[in-house]
Amino acid sequence: MASHPPRPFRGSGPLRALFGLLMISALAGVLVAGMALPFVGTAGLAAKSASDHFEDIPDDLKTPDLPQRSQILAADGSVMATFWGDFGNRVIVPFSAISPNVWQALVATEDSRFFSHGGIDIKGTLRAFVSDLGGSNQGGSSISQQYVKNVLVLEAGNDKAKYADATGDSMARKVRELKYAIAVEQKFSKTEILERYLNLVPFAENVSGIETAADRWFGVHAGQLTVPQAATLIGMLKNPVAYDPAKHPLAATDRRNTVLDRMADPTVHYITPEQAAAFKAQPLGLKLQPQHSGCIYAPGSTAFFCEYIEQEILNDPIYGKTTADRAAFFNRGGLTIKTTMDPKMEAAAQKSINDNVLPTDIPGAAIAMIQPGTGQIKAMAQSRNMGTGEGQTYLNLAADPSHGGGNGYQAGSTFKSFVAMAALEKGMTPEFVQDLPYQVDETQSKFSTCDTPAGFTQDPKWKPTDETQQEAGPQTMTSALWNSVNNYFVKMEEQTGICEPARLAAAAGLTIDSDNGVGKRLQQIGSFTLGTNQVTPIAMANAYATFAARGMYCKPTAISAITDTSGKQYPVATPDCHQTIDPSLTDQLTGMLQGVVDKGTAASIRTFYSGPAAGKTGTNDSRLMTWFDGYTPNLAAAVWVGVVSPKPNDKGLVNVKIHGQYYDKVCGGCLAAPIWGQAMNGALAGTTPPGFSVPELPGDIPPPTQPTPPPGQPTPPPGQANGGQNGGANGGTGGFIGGFIGGQ
């Protein structure tokens, strides 16, 4: 037998009949009092009490803003991801965008006298009340009453007490609904009520509103729903779970047919009996569309860009004083968040990673692209997608901890650029020559830092070496950059000090554990130039974007606009750009770094990309990771390939297969640089990048001693591998960091 909710009175025979007559009289008094304008008293005490409550109807009935799903968009307006909260998988549409089949099915089924009553169907309500007294639970609420109930449920949210009050079977709740139903009818037109109702009502599977329901079950807009489709969805409203057509097709079909019969009823006559019979003979015809909420459903690496956006909002005080306030803003729904991501560049970055490193390979790989002069992050991609399966991760390999990433990775010889600029700042020229042996003894060397201007004595165990014997001998600053000669820049640190290179690196936004230049300052140790500091690909891409912008540093940004459904615009981080490095230094550096691509350790780039380019390779001493950081005049990118979570004594990337190719020693020029070249070629396809405005270099700079081999070949060129097996940091650092000094 069907069960019924508890009722306030149960008796039998004459007592129940007497009670029913009293309640009917009271309810009739309430209805009459409620519909009188202005409100008047009646003879009955119950009716008088109820009419007092009706006089409490507010002048401006509160109608909540409906939560909607939010979207994160790429720079071109394409959807990157959609998300919603407990009540927000909804897209609000105007009445004109809803098929008449929908509201006709609703009126025929739920409230056939909707267009003739004033908010309360007295006949239907009294009929339902009498039937309820007889033991049969029969609905009699008007559409306006149902709208009010759904509003109260929505406002209750996750508050159990308020939810129980909004859905309970009490006289107080029924009277409140009647009261507000009248107010709704006074405030809104019939079509406005239908529009609000159809945008509000919940369906199954956390789907709310007719537009989202139409998409979920039939893959169409609300305005495209046919009669049987509309009947199916309206039929769900009686019990969304029991009549879910995807899970209970037989029950849903029976319920749909009931709705069709009511639409054909002579009292409404929206369709003919013949049409109803034809529609009832049709299958449900479902075309289920996935309804995915959250960044994890964004394709490929865009999931990590999406998460970066989410963390930007949760971290930025302009969206709320506390984390809870910012989370409430993000989860409020109805937001359109436009990002700086360029889909073309993102696709090119992803393809270059996928073509060179597999998700299940030992190393991971990541790339970040940033526009010089704006700080806009245009792309970030990595070899491992978001998830917990094989070859997946939730770690953003390009970002810092505050954006879903890790602590960064040792930068290798990409830091030689800062020592070179410090030398230029002290008056040395690109032709400055040093004649050094293959291995240098730093026992008596002094390295000054910002904290120790008099210098400190290096750990006697540290005897840095070049990659090959051929790199020993005279080198200019330019050729040393082309060949990535370790000892040239180690000895140069004695003349520049470490404070000045560290200051220039900080001016380019480099700190520890931060993409935004707000982390701990870089360690100033003897192996600074060899890249022992841990930094992220986003931070390195932005540092080299600063070179491309001729010393103009811009804080990385990923959000360009936030609006809600009303068109209100919310604040976004304003461009934070300022000159931090003398343009003459970056111009001279660019002149030298162009040769790294054209004639030096990154010559493999020219297999893929022929436009203007400058940059620097890097590989840490233990070959756990390798880099290429480079730029064109209008786009900078950093590529990292390495062991994702290195541990002390880990085996480096030697004698390893990556994407099916064998590498005896992984290096910047044979892996990271080709990835950069391929990505840049795709990102800038169809454009003509401007040339660099830099001074010309002398024509007598010695070339590298050996050419760079094609990608994937086993033997790296001079200057492309580690910085010497005896590498280490200064005394006092020791341990893990000291064991992984930078190389090329």
The share of the chain scoring above pLDDT 70, in percent, equals 80
Of the two residues 380 and 574, the one the predictor is more confident about is: 380
Residue written as token pair 């691509």 = 597
Rounded Cα distance between 451 and 297, Å, is 48
Question: Using an 8 Å Cβ cutoff, are 574 and 679 in contact?
Answer: no
Mean pLDDT of all residues in 451-463: 74
Secondary structure element (H or E) that encloses residue 435, with its range:
strand 433-436
Residue 401: asked if its preceding bond is cis (omega within 30°), the reply is no
**Would you say residue 511 lies in a domain?**
yes
In this prediction, residues 630-658 reach a mean pLDDT of 93
* 29, part of any domain: no
Query: When comparing pLDDT for 650 and 108, which is higher?
Result: 108
Mean pLDDT of 686-707: 64
CATH number for the domain spanning 440: value is 3.40.710.10
Q: Each residue of 159-211: pLDDT tens digit? A: 788 777 777 777 777 777 788 888 888 889 999 999 999 999 999 988 999 99
pTM of the prediction?
0.81
Position 126 confidence tier, pLDDT thresholds 50, 70, 90: low
Strand-by-strand arrangement of the 569-570 sheet? 79-83, 70-73, 336-339, 559-563, 569-570
pLDDT at 39 over 70: no
Q: Are 704 and 601 in contact (CB under 8 A)?
A: yes
- Position 339 in a domain: no
What pLDDT was estimated at residue 151? 87
Confidence bin at 650 (pLDDT 50/70/90): confident
In a domain, 524, yes or no: yes
The beta strands (E) that lie in 278-391 are given as: 336-339, 364-370, 377-382, 385-386
- Segments forming the whole domain that contains residue 532: 381-555+573-739
C-alpha closest to that of 398 among 379, 413, 422, 374: 379
Residue 456 pLDDT > 60: yes
Tell me, what's the pLDDT at 597? Answer: 97
Q: Which range, 112-121, 418-427, 429-438, has the best average confidence (pLDDT)?
A: 418-427
In a domain, 534, yes or no: yes
Per the domain annotation, does 138 fall within a domain?
no
Instruction: State the total domains in the chain.
Output: 1
Amino acid making up residue 34: G
**Average of pLDDT values for 616-637?**
94
What dihedral angle (degrees, nearest 10) is formed by the CA atoms of 224, 228, 230, 231? 170
Please report the pLDDT score of residue 408 as a whole number: 94
- Enclosing H/E stretch for 665: strand 661-665
Cα 269 to chain centroid distance, Å, stands at 49
Which tops the pLDDT comparison, 36 or 507? 507
The mean per-residue pLDDT over the stretch 711-722 comes to 35
Position 254 in a domain: no
Does residue 700 carry a pLDDT above 80? no
pLDDT digits (tens, 9 = 90+) for 226-280: 999 999 999 999 999 999 999 999 999 999 999 999 999 999 999 999 999 999 9
Higher-pLDDT residue of 222 and 55 is 222
Per-chain mean pLDDT for the chain = 83
Q: Both tokens of residue 200? A: 């509000």
Is residue 691, in this structure, part of any structural domain at all?
yes
